[in-house]
């Protein structure tokens, strides 16, 4: 069993930055592929970024490429999402998720085994 706790959300002006953290409890964090998703009101949950177990493979959605950076520290059982040049359309609840499967980069939300409770990010114009 893994528990994921996100932090770092908040309210920021357009052009600003936030750093989200997702701390995992339980064992063997390095065995999980990790992903950051977001869900805006009235919209489906979408994958923002994903990272492999080792951190060597990374995926970004086109909408955040060049602005967001995902990283992980397996020693601290934590995955991060550095968000720069934020736009109002980035406003959403952000969730981290963990996958115990065999995939390197997991894009399908249904494949993730564990989810955090979410953290709100609001970008004002």
pLDDT tens-digit map of 2-51:
899 999 999 999 999 999 999 999 778 999 999 999 999 999 999 999 99
Cα distance between residue 121 and residue 40, in whole Å: 10
Mapped onto helix, strand or coil, the DSSP state of residue 114 is strand
Q: What is the pLDDT of residue 12?
A: 98
CA distances from 45 to 37, 95, 115, 116 (A): 6, 9, 12, 13
65-124 pLDDT tens trace: 999 999 999 999 999 999 999 999 999 999 999 999 887 899 999 999 999 999 999 999
**Residue 59 burial by CB count (10 A; 0-12/13-18/19+): exposed, middle or buried?**
middle
Q: Is the pLDDT of residue 1 over 90?
A: no
Cα distance between residue 10 and residue 119, in whole Å: 8
Q: How many CB atoms lie within 10 A of CB 97?
A: 24
Cα distance between residue 14 and residue 84, in whole Å: 10
Take residue 34 and report the two structure tokens written for it: 């990790």
Cα distance between residue 113 and residue 29, in whole Å: 13
């Amino acid at each position: 069993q893994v528990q994921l706790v996100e932090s770092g959300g908040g309210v920021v002006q357009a052009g600003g930055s936030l750093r989200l953290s997702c701390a995992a409890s339980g064992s063997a964090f390095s065995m999980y592929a990790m992903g950051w998703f977001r869900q805006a009101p009235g919209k489906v949950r979408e994958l923002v970024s994903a990272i492999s177990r080792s951190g060597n493979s990374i995926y970004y959605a086109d909408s955040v490429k060049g602005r967001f950076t995902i990283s992980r520290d397996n020693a601290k059982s934590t995955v991060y999402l550095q968000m720069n040049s934020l736009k109002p359309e980035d406003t959403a609840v952000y969730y981290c998720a963990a996958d115990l499967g065999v995939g390197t980069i997991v894009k399908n939300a249904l494949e993730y085994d564990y989810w955090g409770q979410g953290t709100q990010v609001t970008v004002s114009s």
